[in-house]
Structure 1
Amino acid sequence: MAFLQANVYSNELGMEVMVNVILPQQTKKAIGKETKGAVTDIPVLYLLHGMNGNHSVWERRTSIERYVSDLGLAVIMPSTDLGFYTDTTYDMNYWTFISEELPKICHELFPQLSTKREKTFAAGLSMGGYGAIKLGLRKPEKFAAVASLSGALAIAESSDSFLEIRGKNYWEGIFGPLDKIKGSENDLIHLIKKTDKKQAPRFFITCGTEDGLYEASVYATEQMKKRRLDVTFEEGPGAHDWDFWDKWIQRVLVWLEEK
C-alpha cells in the first residue's frame, strides 16, 4: 500500500485542506504483508472523522492501512474541521466540499480511482457517521453503501444533549436555529422518511451498547426499516472510543464486500 498526505486547495472552503490517502500498490517482499495493486477502476472508501479528529486520526488510532492491504481498496480521509458535514450558516460549505468537490479533486489527482457508484462507499464515526449516512441519503446516485459507527444520527431529536458537548452558538453556527433542524435537509430522520428504497444505497449502522448515541442508532435503524431500506444493524459492548471503532471498522470492511 502507498500512504499519501496531501494538501489540496478547496474552492468551496477557500482554504487548504489536508487529505490522507491509502492507495493500493503491488508489493511482493514487504515484511509482514504483501498487498494487491491495481492501475484502474479502484474501489474507494471515503472515511470520515469525528468532532475531535482530523484527516490523520483513523490512521493514528486504528490499523486501517493494514486492514485494507489485501482488499484493493483506496481510502480517502479528509479533514473537515468541526463543520459537521454541513453547509454552515457562517459560510463554510463543508457539505458541498465533501459531497461534490472532494470526489472531483480525488479523481483528478488519482485517476485510477473508480467513478462507478457500485465501487464508491463512505463510512465514519460519530460526527463522521452522521456525514456518511447523509452522503447515502442525499447522494444515493453516487454511493453504493455507507456505514455509521456510533453516529450522531438523530440530531433534531437530541439537541438538548448536544448542548452539553458544545454551546448553542456552535450548533446554530452549523445548522441555524435549533428548532429549525427538524424537517430540514440536515435532519437524517427526515431524509430517511422521504428516501426511495429503489434508489437508496445499502446502510450499515453499529454502536456500542454503553455509548450515549446508542439510542440514536437504534432509532435511525427503526426508521430505515419502516421505509424498507437495506439496513444492517449490529451492536456490541463498547463506549464512544477507539477500542470500539478499531474493532468495528474491520466488520464494516467485511460488510462492504458481502454484496
Structure 2
Amino acid sequence: MNKSIKYWLISLIFVLICSGIQAATVDTLSIESKSMSKGIKTVIVLPDKYDKAAQYPVLYLLHGYSGRYDNWVNNAPEIKKLVDIYNYIVVCPDGGFDSWYWDIVGDKNYQYDTFVSQELVHYIDTHYATKKDRSARAITGLSMGGHGAMTLAINHQATYGAAGSTSGGLDIRPFPMNWNIRNRIGTYSSQPMEWEAKSVINLIHLLEPNRLELIIDCGKEDFFYKVNLAIHDKLDYHNIAHTFMTRSGAHNWDYWSKSIVYQMAFFNEFFTKKVDFKKINK
C-alpha cells in the first residue's frame, strides 16, 4: 500500500474513533430506466454539508450476486461517516439478482450496462450537484459488483476516471456452473466466446495507459483469490499502474466492510489530487 493511502487511513481511523456523529443523508429513489422500461431502486448518500451550489465527486458502488441496492448502507453503515468525512456522494444502484451488470442482447430486463453507465450517471448529474466529468467519477463494487465495476469502467473510459473491485469475479471462466451466469450468456460449452469476451481479465488490453486509477483487493481465503492474483499479474505485465491489496479474509461482509474503508480513502485521494484536467478529459 502506498504512503498516501496509509496517511488517509490513519487520519480516518482517528476521526472515526473521536467522532460519534453520523449525519449523512440517505435517499432511496426509483430511477426510471428507459432501456429496461422499469424503475430501478437506488440509494444516494449525500454528505451532511451537501450544498446545491457546490460540485461533488461521485462514487458508484455496486452490490454482489443476489444482493440489492441497500446492501452496502445496511451491512457497512460506516459508509455514511465516510461520506461526511470525504465530502463526496455515493450512489448504490440495484443491479438485479444476477445481472452481472451486462447488457444482454434481446433481453429488455437485462440492460444494466446502459442503465448504470448512461441513464444513472445522467440522472445523478441532472438532479444533484455533481462535478460532471470523469475526473470526479469513480465506480467499484463487491463480487459480481467488482466484476461489473471493472467491466463498466474499462468499457466507458470516457465516463469514469477511477475504478475498483473487492473480492471481484474478475474471471468468470473457472466457474461455468455458478451464479446464473449461464442463464445470462449461455453455457460455457455452447458460448465459449461470450465467456471469454465478458471476463474482465480478457479486457485488460482495452485499457489506455494512465487512463484509469485502479484499486483491486481480495481476501486470501476467498474463492476469487486466484483470479484476482492473475489479473494483478496481467496488469503488471501490461504496465498498467494499479493498487493491489490482499490480507486474510473470506467472501463475506466482515471483509467487505473493512475493504470499503480502504477503497473510499483511495477514491478520495483520486478526487482531491491535483491533476491536469485537460489531459484527463481527452
CA contact (8 A) 1:87 1:174 kept: no
For the 8 Å contact 1:192–1:224, the answer to whether it is kept is yes
User: Are the structure 2 counterparts of residues 124 and 175 from structure 1 closer, same or farther at C-alpha, using a change threshold of 3 Å?
Assistant: farther
Give the structure-1-normalised TM-score: 0.87
Match of 1:61 among 65, 75, 79: 75
Change (3 A) 1:173 1:24: farther
* Aligned counterparts of 1:189 and 1:196: Cα–Cα separation in 2: 15
Number of the residue aligned with 1:246: 257
TM-score (normalised: structure 2): 0.80
> Runs of 5+ in structure 2 lacking a partner?
1-23, 271-282
1:20–1:13: structure 2 CA closer, same or farther, 3 Å change rule?
A: same
Deviations 1:56-80 (A, max 9, x none): 0001100211222111110000001
> How many angstroms does 1:108 deviate by?
1.9
Q: What is the distance in 1 between the residues matched to 2:86 and 2:202?
A: 35
Deviating more after overlay: 90-99 vs 68-77: 90-99
Residue of structure 2 equivalent to 1:101: 119
Aligned to 1:143: 160
1:22 positional shift: 0.4
Q: For residue 130 of structure 1, give the secondary structure of its aligned residue in structure 2.
A: helix
Map of 1:6 onto structure 2? 29
Q: Any gaps of 5 or more consecutive residues in structure 1?
A: 27-35
Secondary structure, counterpart of 1:219 in structure 2: helix
Match of 2:208 in 1: 196
Q: CA separation in 2, counterparts of 1:176 and 1:72?
A: 47
Deviation of residue 105 (structure 1)? 1.3
User: Percent identity among equivalent residues?
Assistant: 26
Q: What secondary structure, in the 3-state scheme, does the structure 2 residue paired with 1:55 have?
A: coil
Is the Cα contact below 8 Å between 1:171 and 1:178 reproduced in 2?
Answer: no
Amino acid at match of 1:196: E
- The answer to which structure has the higher helix fraction is 2
Task: Write the distance in 2 (CA, Å) between the matches of 1:229 and 1:4.
Answer: 36
Which 4+ runs in 1 deviate beyond 6 A? none
In the alignment, what sits opposite 1:125?
142
CA RMSD of aligned residues (A): 2.1
Check the 8 A contact 1:62/1:246 in 2, yes or no.
yes
- Deviations 1:96-130 (CA, angstroms, capped at 9, x unpaired): 111111101112221x0111211111110000001
1:85 counterpart (81, 91, 101): 101
Provide the aligned length of Structure 1 versus Structure 2: 243
Q: Residues 39 and 243 of structure 1: is their aligned pair in 2 closer, same or farther, counting only changes over 3 Å?
A: farther
Aligned-residue offset at 1:240: 0.3
